[in-house]
Amino acid sequence: MKKIINKTEDIVSEMIAGLVKTNPKLVKQIEGTTAVVRNDVKFSQTKQVGVVSGGGSGHEPLHAGYVGDGMLSAAVAGEVFTSPTPDQIYEAIKAVDQGLGVLLIVKNYSGDVMNFDMAKEMAEADDIKIETIVVDDDISVENSEFTQGKRGVAGTVLVEKIVGAAARSGMNLADLAALGQKVIDNTKTIGIALQAATVPAVGHPSFELKDDEVEYGIGIHNERGYSVEKIKPSKELAHQLIEKIIQEFSDQTGKFVVLVNGMGGTPLMEQYIFANDVLNELADKKIQVAFSKVGNKVTSLDMQGVSLTIMKAEDSWIDMLEEPVNTIGW
Amino acid sequence: MELSLADTKKWIELFVQKVESEKSQLNELDTAIGDGDHGTNMDRGMKAITDAFSKKEPEDIVSLHKTVAFALIQKVGGASGPLYGTAFLDMSKKAKDDADLTTLIQTGLAGLKRRGQSDVGMKTMIDVWEPVANALKADEFNQSVIDEALTSNKALVATKGRASYLEEKSKGHLDPGAQSSAYLFEALLTVLGA
């Protein structure tokens, strides 16, 4: 394993230190934690519902890269691929609550759900109003009662953008939670990997794929997918993923949003090629794409691969996605 | 039966040693059906326990369990942090009026079920805690209880936690949380002199 790091146990604290030092106008670190909070002038001058997210590290720019006016109020970074702890989440909640309550955006993993739950209990004991929405956009896993349910993956960034914009516009806590849930329900993602990620503390990729193999349905923590096949031209990969995702939408009229997300180790060049194929195929299918985005938004360390997210959107969501925002990563 | 303060501390210290020496083993188990960091995460919690003990010697069983709980909740993260943390926090609360060992383990088990919204047979640490709690109650706690619990855990299909995404493929792998729980109870056996 070759990584530009010092000690593996210092990865998260040093990453946060670097992120804060290079973006002092946008974010500051909450003392004694690996959480960051908005540091722009407007933050202390304008009241709004706080929006806090967080999760394991290794998905940058998620979540700290999305802290800023119009998106997240604070983000909590856990260890690599490991949920942050309740005390840290609680500190982030306290740092952003302006008396209007705080919305927690949690990706659907048992660890994240439990730690955010404990933090919610701590904050409620302080009379801070809390609502939680759990993102579960990954349709590659069955949403059955016999599993944790679908995972929260790249669609999370779209949820954070829309909810963040609505919070900035003054929406109240209950309405924000309802909006967030509606966005989640209309957001579907599948990821593919050409190579698994190497967790620094482990030192080697978590699973092996041959040079000519691609795995469908992987998660953002090296969770295995539903099938391994021979690699195909981008056009065919796009076709396969679209076919699988689009059947999730019973009504294919109206406006759609597309996110082509790089997993960390795939060049933007390839992401744009794939995005071109996705948009061409959707145009052929007469599916109207009103907003699209390409880039490394929700990564999985150095995993090679992409994920495709398609969202059926209301007009107001498109506006909220298009609103300018000042963050490190959007 | 109540464990003395000294024995309870020894129990936790043996657990700490065991997890520290088996860190890579726990990571390996987690790599097979999870994300490969259970050993690393637990090890961070173990160091926090050792630090907390050295900063302030626990005065009684209540504060000892609470110290362990806070160290784990604040340092482990993932799912194991809140699970082990909740178990020890609930045990600490219970110990205020009843410090009977069997009662405490049962209380910890109930805490695990509540926090994880899970039960025995879902391929989690509960598969070890429940048989141990039952064996303590029946006064039949020994190594074979732990061994059998691990054997049956290995054969299960996971229906909770991250391993549940693997469905049938999780069969034949030992759940890392069950293994770390086994270390906890093997340490307890040592203290009990069994």
Q: pLDDT tens, B49-66?
A: 999 999 999 999 999 999
The pLDDT value given to residue A146: 59
Closest by CA position to B128, among listed B159, B105, B162: B105
CB contact under 8 A, A117 and B82: yes
CA A167 to chain centre: 18
CB atoms within 10 A of CB B22: 18
Indicate yes or no: CB of A219 within 8 angstroms of CB of B165. yes
Instruction: Give percent above pLDDT 90 in chain B.
Output: 86
DSSP per residue over A208-256, as a string?
Answer: ---TTEEEES--TTS---SEEEE---HHHHHHHHHHHHHTT-S---SEE
Distance CA A273, CA A283 (A): 15
The dotted CATH code for A8-186 is: 3.40.50.10440
User: Contact A175/A162 with Cβ under 8 angstroms?
Assistant: no
Residue A94, amino acid: K
Q: Report whether pLDDT(A95) > 60.
A: yes
B91 token code pair: 């045990």
Sign of CA dihedral B85, B89, B95, B98: negative
Q: Do B164 and A146 touch (CB under 8 A)?
A: yes
Please confirm, yes or no, whether A63 is among the known catalytic residues: no
Percentage above 90 pLDDT, chain A: 90
Tell me the pLDDT tens digit for each residue of B94-143: 999 999 999 999 999 999 999 998 999 999 999 999 999 999 999 999 99
> Edge to edge, what strands does the sheet with A304-313 contain?
A227-230, A213-216, A187-195, A304-313, A255-262, A288-295
For residue B1, is pLDDT > 70? yes
Residue of A nearest to B40 (CA): A201
Predicted local confidence at residue A144, as pLDDT: 56
Q: What is the mean pLDDT of residues A198-213?
A: 91
Q: Report pLDDT digits (tens) over A75-88.
A: 999 999 989 999 99
Question: Which of B31, B73, B86 minimises the CB distance to A87?
Answer: B73
Global pTM value: 0.86
How many angstroms from the chain centroid is the CA of residue A19? Answer: 18
pLDDT of A145 higher than 60: no
Options A59, A63, A204, A239, the catalytic residue = A59
Of B74, B82, B162, the CB nearest to A148: B162
Residue A147 pLDDT more than 70? no
Helix H or strand E segment including A312? strand A304-313
Concatenate the DSSP letters of all residues of A126-166 into one string: TT--EEEEEE--BTTS---TTSS-SPP-THHHHHHHHHHHH
CATH architecture of the domain with residue range B5-192: Alpha Horseshoe (1.25)
The model's confidence at residue B164, banded by pLDDT at 50, 70 and 90, is confident
Angle subtended by helix axes B80-95 and B101-116, to nearest 10: 140
**Burial status of residue B169 (CB atoms within 10 A of its CB: 0-12, 13-18, 19 or more):** middle
Nearest chain A Cα to B43, which residue? A9
What local confidence, expressed as pLDDT, does residue B165 receive?
75
Residues of B whose CB is below 8 A from A219? 165
Partners of B167 on chain A (C-beta within 8 Å) are 146-147
Contacts of B66 (CB under 8 A, 6+ apart): B88, B89, B92
Q: Best residue in B26, B35, B124 to probe A by mutation, most A CBs within 10 Å?
A: B35
CA dihedral B95, B69, B9, B106 (to 10 degrees): 50
DSSP state of B174: -
Angle of helix B5-21 versus helix B61-75 axis, rounded to 10:
20
Chain A partners within 8 Å of B35 (Cβ): 81-82, 199, 206, 221-223
Contacts of A114 in chain B (CB under 8 A): 79, 82-83, 115-116
Do the Cβ atoms of B86 and A118 come within 8 Å?
yes
Residue of chain A minimizing CA distance to B124: A110
Name the β-bridge partners of A135. A107
List the single residue in A82, A146, A202 with the smallest CB-CB distance to B41. Answer: A82
Q: Are B90 and B111 in contact (CB under 8 A)?
A: yes
The residue-averaged pLDDT of B63-91 equals 93
Give percent above pLDDT 70 in chain A: 98
Average pLDDT over residues B167-190: 95
* Contact assignment for B36 to A199 by CB distance below 8 Å: yes
Question: Look-up: residue for tokens 């967080």?
Answer: A54
- Alpha-carbon dihedral sign for residues A222, A141, B30, A7: positive
Secondary element (H or E) of residue B132:
helix B126-137
Confidence category of residue A141, pLDDT binned at 50, 70, 90: confident
Where is pLDDT greater, at A148 or B41? B41
Rounded CA separation A172/A104 (Å): 14
The answer to whether residue A281 scores a pLDDT higher than 90 is yes
Chain A interface, best mutation among B162, B168, B173, by max A CB count within 10 A: B162
**Sequence spans of domains, chain A:** 8-186, 188-321
Class level of CATH domain A188-321: alpha beta
Helices (H), chain A: 11-22, 41-45, 86-96, 110-124, 155-168, 173-185, 234-246, 268-284, 315-322
Report phi then psi at A299, rounded to 5: -95, 175
CB pair distance less than 8 Å for B165 and A111: no
CA–CA separation, B80 and A287 (whole Å): 44
Give yes or no on whether A8-186 and A188-321 have one common fold: no
Q: How far apart are CA A296 and CA B35, in angstroms?
A: 21
Percentage of chain B beyond pLDDT 70 is 99
Q: Check if A59 is active-site.
A: yes
Question: Rounded to the nearest 5°, which phi and psi values hold at A228?
Answer: -115, 125
Mean per-residue pLDDT, B7-28 = 97
Average pLDDT over residues A94-103: 98
Rounded-to-integer distance, Cα B135 and Cα B129, Å: 10
User: How far A172 CA sits from the closest chain B CA (Å)?
Assistant: 29
**Taking all residues of chain B, what is their mean pLDDT, rounded to a whole number?**
94
> What's the Rg (C-alpha) of chain B?
15
Residue type, B165: Y
Confidence bin at B194 (pLDDT 50/70/90): low
Q: Is B99 helix (H, G, I), strand (E, B) or coil?
A: coil
**Mutation for B interface: A90, A114, A216, most B CBs within 10 A:** A114
Residue A85 is classified by DSSP as: P
CB pairs under 8 A between A and B: 102
Mean pLDDT of B5-14: 97
**What is residue B33's predicted lDDT score, i.e. its pLDDT?**
87
The span from the CA of A262 to the CA of B34, in Å, is 22
Distance of CA A65 to the CA centre of its chain: 10
Q: Which residues contact A21 (CB under 8 A, 6 or more apart)?
A: none
Predicted confidence (pLDDT) at residue A202 exceeds the cutoff of 90: no
From the list B77, B167, B169, the residue facing A79 with the nearest CB is B77
Q: Is the ipTM of this complex over 0.85?
A: no
Q: So what's the pLDDT on residue A25?
A: 97
Pairing of strands A187-195, A35-38: unpaired
